[in-house]
A and B are shown apart, each in its own frame.
Chain A
């Protein structure tokens, strides 16, 4: 197989964006523009499915590796996938077309620019998940800030400027230290190639500082308590499609980074800092769940619940148990689907009523029944009801944590209860109750494209809830190998 499938995955959306760039945006050809973007992203999705079919699940080696000299004697452009990254690529290519379909109702101005930003974003995010060189990774990781800044800033809500700035500066501040760390690694080991670094390991003297530098970047991006404050603002102000991208994929870059780099490169430091991660994660779970309980804005509530869910993810990753890490990855995938769906659900009612406040609604169950059913499904998935993908992730994570630390596990389990409380209360206040606001009577139920998007998200949520085997199969070998490597390096103290 010489066909550079990963590079094609990265490049294809950009080529689509370039094509859109040269098409003049007028009122008449908005439909054409949308179809071009949709076509590009669907081809990309099919390509990634093909990648998954070709993917060999029985080995933890990196596959489809492409390597080209990029800067002589310094950096190679190197991409490849293993069991961990391939799922994130699938998630990215799956969510993007749905985002593009969803712009129908929410994006009223500068459609072609918006789609260009979304497609370029897709390129960068796929790049993040398959780059096997630290510098290339950093490049993609940071480059994603540009389209997201514009998406929030141009198409966002009333306080969009504040949120866009906060998002950009927070994440940039977190990332610059990572750049220092990457360059330092280059001088310590003479390479920034991840595979080589896995083999050689990094001098234990420097691991702690390097780990902290990477942590500062990933913690902001995850986001972990106490640097999570950019997320609710960014989510609330971003347009629906932007929130979906942010919640479904952008946040996963950090979780992926923790697994790939923090665990893979700095095992000794990870061991030392596990209590820190545990503490922050537990605080995130409990604290932000309580905050979510008190929110009056639906988007903000879901944003805080994202922070809590990502708290489980970081908790699971640093258990260094097979179940814990598997659970984290499944939780990330599931959160990608469910959070995306919840933001879309908010978007649906927002497009009709132009309000995200919970108290605007109430008693809409009889007016828009289809919507209420799907909304309920995703609410239940978000609180981790058995039979939805949310349950699989949370359960595996808690199992991993129980093996490692009983007290943390008990506290984290409490978070599940609070999570159920705020999600169910949200659902109750929005959907059930007396119909007081008479304007709500004019609401129309889901149109075809909305129904299509939400069903597309509902199917995998349920499917992986009942049958998570395809996911676990894919990541199993890579994770067990990662843990073996981790323990091996820890024993040998490198």
Chain B
């Protein structure tokens, strides 16, 4: 008998999704209730994960197809918390567009469920199942504001391209299955020796699929359009939560079955990383829409996270996890600011709309200033430490080229972050925005800004949390 307690978070979440669906179908005007229930469910699930699984030593369930260890539990908790925060701050936005419906929280919950399955997967089939569950929910979320052309376009684009990448990924899975005779990560690892070159094809196909999900260059084309078209709260979800899960799978997939083929895939990762960092930095310069700019900046940040993965050591993996965590925090703050740019029931998302913000909204622009400098990686803010650990891991492996290119692209990237600061602080001011905001929006902005600002006082805490991740 399997120890079902270890998958209790997933079981609990899937049962609650079904319950919420039924509740929503039968009870009229229940969107507020379901919204609140989903919030508490996310917290409960996170608590269950924390209580039941975080202290457990590595355990495999269901014919070794699901793995529960510290790494997966930690990533699940981060995913759940990030989803919780996204959900809390999106309610006002949804109400403005009159799309505050029961489907929204349920879709978010199901995509989170898919991510949790992905994170725990130790088998290609389980992994693919989780991936598709989260992607399907995401397609619908992208089109959630269906009366707007942009949103529908975004959803359709995302669907078509994502389906293509899933196809490639599946093809890679079948190649690997064909050459090793198994879909289980551990069994694949034992079959590596004989078919090294053939397997590389499979790895490449799967990496393409994963790079698409995480929007690494050269598979990033969908990101700017989808991010721009989707409702802002969904964009926030896109930039944060799926990336956590995809990065986890990236790490698990490369390091568990294919660690011995590191020479084959390390070059690919270095390329993905360098291309993403450079492209993210350069392409963001010309943007005039804030959401598009965030899309390019997130491409760049993924590049840094991948640099940690490319290092091929536990330190590298830990730094990459740390990077994505801090990135999530910064993005949360950034989007909270974006959601505050509201006047007469209309949201503003052009760069010029920030013009002279510091005059009318000193606190908002100060927070945004801190977040932007942190995104640019200027010490002593949290973003610097994130980059610092990644480059430490990279330099430890003597990958100087990667480190130097990465650091030089931070200088290029600093330019467009500075441009936003310039617009806020140096330019003439425009009309005032609304000053009344929901509690959670203010809370997430304040919390993320303060954490970013004082991170340097307690830098060891996060290091300790991730230092227990030992994949290799």
- Tell yes or no: B378 within 8 A of A by CB: yes
Binds A, one of B91-99, B101-109, B326-334, B396-404: B396-404
Q: Knowing A139-B379, A146-B373, A173-B408 touch, does A165 contact B396 (C-beta < 8 A)? A: no
- Is A165 touching B418 in the complex (CB atoms < 8 A)? yes
- Is A153 touching B388 in the complex (CB atoms < 8 A)? no
**Which of B361-415 touch A at CB < 8 Å?**
373, 378-380, 384, 388, 391-392, 395-396, 400, 403-404, 407-408, 410-411, 414-415
Shortest C-beta distance, B363 to chain A (Å), equals 10
- Is A168 touching B414 in the complex (CB atoms < 8 A)? yes
Shortest C-beta distance, A164 to chain B (Å), equals 7
> Within 8 Å CB of A160, what residues of B?
426
Q: Mark A142-181, 1 if CB is under 8 A from B, else 0.
A: 1101100110011000001100110011001100110110
- Is B464 touching A72 in the complex (CB atoms < 8 A)? yes
> Within 8 Å CB of A168, what residues of B?
414, 418
- Is A71 touching B459 in the complex (CB atoms < 8 A)? yes
Q: Mark B108-150, 1 if CB is under 8 A from A, else 0.
A: 0000000000000000000000000000000000000000000
> Within 8 Å CB of B400, what residues of A?
180
CA of A164 to CA of B425, assembled, Å: 12
- Tell yes or no: B422 within 8 A of A by CB: yes
> Within 8 Å CB of A146, what residues of B?
373, 378
- Tell yes or no: B456 within 8 A of A by CB: yes
CA of A70 to CA of B380, assembled, Å: 13
Binds B, one of A183-191, A302-310, A374-382: A183-191
Chain B residue nearest to A213 (CB atoms) is B404
Shortest C-beta distance, B449 to chain A (Å), equals 13
CA of A172 to CA of B460, assembled, Å: 26
**Which of A170-220 touch B at CB < 8 Å?**
172-173, 176-177, 179-180, 183-184, 186-187
Shortest C-beta distance, B259 to chain A (Å), equals 22
CA of A172 to CA of B411, assembled, Å: 6
- Is A139 touching B456 in the complex (CB atoms < 8 A)? yes
> Within 8 Å CB of B407, what residues of A?
176-177, 179-180
> Within 8 Å CB of B380, what residues of A?
139, 143
Chain A residue nearest to B394 (CB atoms) is A183
- Is A142 touching B379 in the complex (CB atoms < 8 A)? yes
Q: Most B CB atoms within 10 A — which of A138, A142, A149, A179? A: A179
* A180 partner, pick from B373, B395, B425, B460, beta carbons under 8 A: B395
- Is A183 touching B395 in the complex (CB atoms < 8 A)? yes
Q: Mark B427-460, 1 if CB is under 8 A from A, else 0.
A: 0000000000000000000000000000010011
Shortest C-beta distance, B371 to chain A (Å), equals 13
* B425 partner, pick from A153, A165, A184, beta carbons under 8 A: A153
- Is A180 touching B422 in the complex (CB atoms < 8 A)? no
> Within 8 Å CB of A184, what residues of B?
395
CA of A70 to CA of B425, assembled, Å: 34
> Within 8 Å CB of A177, what residues of B?
404, 407
CA of A169 to CA of B419, assembled, Å: 12
- Is A187 touching B396 in the complex (CB atoms < 8 A)? yes
CA of A179 to CA of B400, assembled, Å: 12
- Is B408 touching A176 in the complex (CB atoms < 8 A)? yes
Q: Knowing A143-B378, A169-B415, A180-B407 touch, does A161 contact B395 (C-beta < 8 A)? A: no
- Tell yes or no: B465 within 8 A of A by CB: no
CA of A142 to CA of B407, assembled, Å: 14
Q: Knowing A139-B380, A143-B379 touch, does A164 contact B422 (C-beta < 8 A)? A: yes
CA of A161 to CA of B425, assembled, Å: 10
CA of A187 to CA of B313, assembled, Å: 15
* B463 partner, pick from A71, A145, A165, beta carbons under 8 A: A71
14 contacting pairs across A/B (C-beta < 8 A): A69-B460, A70-B459, A142-B379, A142-B384, A143-B379, A153-B426, A164-B426, A165-B418, A165-B422, A169-B411, A172-B411, A176-B410, A180-B395, A180-B403
Q: A165-B415, A180-B391 are in contact. List 16 more A-B contacts (CB 8 A).
A: A72-B464, A139-B379, A139-B384, A142-B378, A145-B378, A146-B373, A149-B421, A154-B425, A161-B426, A168-B414, A172-B378, A172-B410, A172-B414, A176-B407, A177-B407, A186-B392
- Is B425 touching A150 in the complex (CB atoms < 8 A)? yes
> Within 8 Å CB of B411, what residues of A?
169, 172-173, 176
CA of A168 to CA of B384, assembled, Å: 16
> Within 8 Å CB of B404, what residues of A?
176-177, 180
> Within 8 Å CB of B378, what residues of A?
142-143, 145-146, 172
> Within 8 Å CB of A70, what residues of B?
459-460
Chain A residue nearest to B419 (CB atoms) is A165
Category for how many chain B residues contact A: 20 to 34
> Within 8 Å CB of A169, what residues of B?
411, 414-415, 418
CA of A180 to CA of B392, assembled, Å: 8
Shortest C-beta distance, B377 to chain A (Å), equals 9
Q: Knowing A70-B459, A71-B459, A150-B425 touch, does A138 contact B379 (C-beta < 8 A)? A: yes
Q: Most B CB atoms within 10 A — which of A71, A153, A186, A187? A: A71
Shortest C-beta distance, B388 to chain A (Å), equals 7
Chain A residue nearest to B391 (CB atoms) is A183
> Within 8 Å CB of B379, what residues of A?
138-139, 142-143
CA of A73 to CA of B379, assembled, Å: 20
Chain A residue nearest to B409 (CB atoms) is A176
CA of A149 to CA of B400, assembled, Å: 29
Shortest C-beta distance, B187 to chain A (Å), equals 36
Shortest C-beta distance, A437 to chain B (Å), equals 32
CA of A476 to CA of B379, assembled, Å: 34
> Within 8 Å CB of A154, what residues of B?
425-426
CA of A45 to CA of B37, assembled, Å: 58
Instruction: Report the 5 A-B pairs with minimum CB-CB distance, sorted nearest first.
Output: A176-B407, A139-B379, A183-B395, A142-B379, A173-B411
Shortest C-beta distance, B354 to chain A (Å), equals 14
Chain B residue nearest to A72 (CB atoms) is B460
Chain A residue nearest to B407 (CB atoms) is A176
Shortest C-beta distance, A199 to chain B (Å), equals 23
- Is A183 touching B392 in the complex (CB atoms < 8 A)? yes
- Is A149 touching B418 in the complex (CB atoms < 8 A)? yes
- Is B422 touching A153 in the complex (CB atoms < 8 A)? yes
CA of A138 to CA of B408, assembled, Å: 16
CA of A184 to CA of B379, assembled, Å: 19
CA of A150 to CA of B370, assembled, Å: 12
Q: Mark A46-76, 1 if CB is under 8 A from B, else 0.
A: 0000000000000000000000011110100
Q: Mark A209-234, 1 if CB is under 8 A from B, else 0.
A: 00000000000000000000000000
> Within 8 Å CB of A179, what residues of B?
388, 391, 407
> Within 8 Å CB of A138, what residues of B?
379
CA of A150 to CA of B372, assembled, Å: 13
> Within 8 Å CB of B456, what residues of A?
139
Chain B residue nearest to A180 (CB atoms) is B403
CA of A180 to CA of B380, assembled, Å: 17
> Within 8 Å CB of B421, what residues of A?
149, 153
Q: Mark A117-152, 1 if CB is under 8 A from B, else 0.
A: 000000000000000000100110011011001100
CA of A130 to CA of B379, assembled, Å: 17
CA of A161 to CA of B426, assembled, Å: 7
CA of A404 to CA of B322, assembled, Å: 51
CA of A69 to CA of B460, assembled, Å: 9
Chain A residue nearest to B408 (CB atoms) is A176
> Within 8 Å CB of A164, what residues of B?
418, 422, 426
